[in-house]
Amino acid sequence: MNTKDLLSISDLSPDDIGRLLSDAIELKARGWNSCLSGKTLALVFEKPSLRTRVSFELAMKQLGGEALYLSPAEVGLGKREPVADVARVLARFVDVIACRTFGHDTLVQLAKYADIPVINALSDLEHPCQALADILTIYEKKGELKGLNLAYIGDGNNCANSLLLACAMTGINCRLASPEGYLVDKAIFAKAKAYAEDSGAELYSGTDLKAALRGADVIYTDVWTSMGQEAETEKRLKDFAGFQVNAKLVSMADKDAIIMHPLPAHYGEEVDREILECPQSVIFDQAENRLHAQKAVLRDMLGGLEIGGRH
């Protein structure tokens, strides 16, 4: 890929996404290999994680490399020491950094001062690794991307931003329905529109649930209260009333629609438990695909060479 860092899904080109998807499929079929032997990843996390941490650690291990997890209490990004110093110290020790943070600018600063690749493992603005796994899952389930209809129901948050861009780049029609005040970021929507001109994707962002769900092949939702927004929980519960993905909403989509969620879910809020337990739900395949998609990213970024292999 033609980028040092992966801070936004738009750091990748549509061609990069296509190649990463086929690499992820290949790596998923092959399992373990040693292409990243001798390479080390530092995971710098300011927020909790299950999937992202485990999938990054295992991705390195299964490709012959190592990962070091640095918890919020250890590093104190910008508190115990400046982000610029953390970046330059880590760059002397490891080959790549994956960082989960609050403000996206922390990632921008890390990437600026580290002369090694920096990967966004979730910020308040984007979750690009999630979007790659999402697109991989959609491709596996539907056998195509271009022309599919995806309905995103809920908060116009980090996952929505990356997913919208990824859909626009790959030709998936993306329709986001959110309550007033929680629509997807205008600048991200404009950026997605520009990609859609090339890919032919149709995009919608508004409050109309029916417009989003009509003919949907994929129904996607995420929490109403993201990490760091806990103080707003009560207000959000009121504001999002009617936007829960439940049997009634699912019946408005295509009968073969798959149901997706990045997890963890706040059951009884953005989704009811039965819906994520039903046969249309692909949430655990989606979670597993974090591993395969990130292996492809890490191998590409670190130029993993395999004897007799393509990389």
Binding residues for carbamoyl phosphate: 100, 127-130, 290
| Cα separation, 149 vs 167, whole angstroms | 9
- Cβ distance to ligand CP smaller for residue 52 or 62: 52
**Beta strands per DSSP E along the chain:** 40-45, 66-70, 96-100, 118-120, 149-153, 173-177, 203-206, 218-221, 258-260
125 binds ligand NVA (CB under 6 A): no
Which one of 51, 175, 295, 299 is in contact with ligand CP (CB under 6 A)? Answer: 51
Pick the piece of the chain touching ligand CP (CB under 6 A) from 81-89, 109-117, 257-265, 271-279.
Answer: 257-265
Burial 183-213 (b: 16+ CB within 10 A, else e): bbbeebbebbeebbeebebebebebebeebb
Task: Output the smallest distance, CB 127 to ligand NVA, in A.
Answer: 6
3-class SS of residue 245: strand
Binding site feature residues for L-ornithine: 158, 222, 226-227
User: How many residues in the shown chain lie near ligand NVA by CB under 6 A?
Assistant: 9
Task: Output the smallest distance, CB 39 to ligand NVA, in A.
Answer: 26
- Residues 6 or more apart whose Cβ sits within 8 Å of residue 157: 222, 223, 226
Pull the structure tokens for residue 89. Answer: 């110290």
130 binds ligand CP (CB under 6 A): yes
Looking only at residues 273 through 302 of this chain, which bind ligand CP when binding is defined by CB under 6 A? Answer: none
Pull the structure tokens for residue 114. Answer: 């580290």
Listed residue (105, 218, 109, 228) closest to 157, CA to CA: 228
Closest-CB residue for ligand CP?
52
| Cα separation, 273 vs 283, whole angstroms | 12
Q: What is the largest CA-CA distance in the chain?
A: 58
| Cα separation, 45 vs 54, whole angstroms | 12
- Residues 6 or more apart whose Cβ sits within 8 Å of residue 71: 45
- Cβ distance to ligand CP smaller for residue 65 or 262: 262
50 binds ligand CP (CB under 6 A): yes
DSSP states along 33-72: --TTTT-EEEEEESS--SHHHHHHHHHHHHTT-EEEEE-H
Question: Tokens 């308040």 belong to which residue?
Answer: 124
Pick the piece of the chain touching ligand NVA (CB under 6 A) from 66-74, 168-176, 219-227, 244-252.
Answer: 219-227
262 binds ligand CP (CB under 6 A): yes
- Cβ distance to ligand CP smaller for residue 50 or 247: 50
- Cβ distance to ligand NVA smaller for residue 55 or 158: 158
Instruction: Give all strands of the β-sheet with 66-70 in edge-to-edge order.
Output: 66-70, 40-45, 96-100, 118-120
226 binds ligand NVA (CB under 6 A): yes
Which one of 58, 227, 237, 252 is in contact with ligand NVA (CB under 6 A)? Answer: 227
Looking only at residues 140 through 169 of this chain, which bind ligand NVA when binding is defined by CB under 6 A? Answer: 157-159
Pick the piece of the chain touching ligand CP (CB under 6 A) from 32-40, 50-58, 184-192, 300-308.
Answer: 50-58
Pick the piece of the chain touching ligand CP (CB under 6 A) from 106-114, 212-220, 262-270, 272-280.
Answer: 262-270
Residues that bind ligand CP (CB under 6 A): 49-52, 122, 130, 262-264
Residues that bind ligand NVA (CB under 6 A): 122, 157-159, 222-223, 226-227, 262
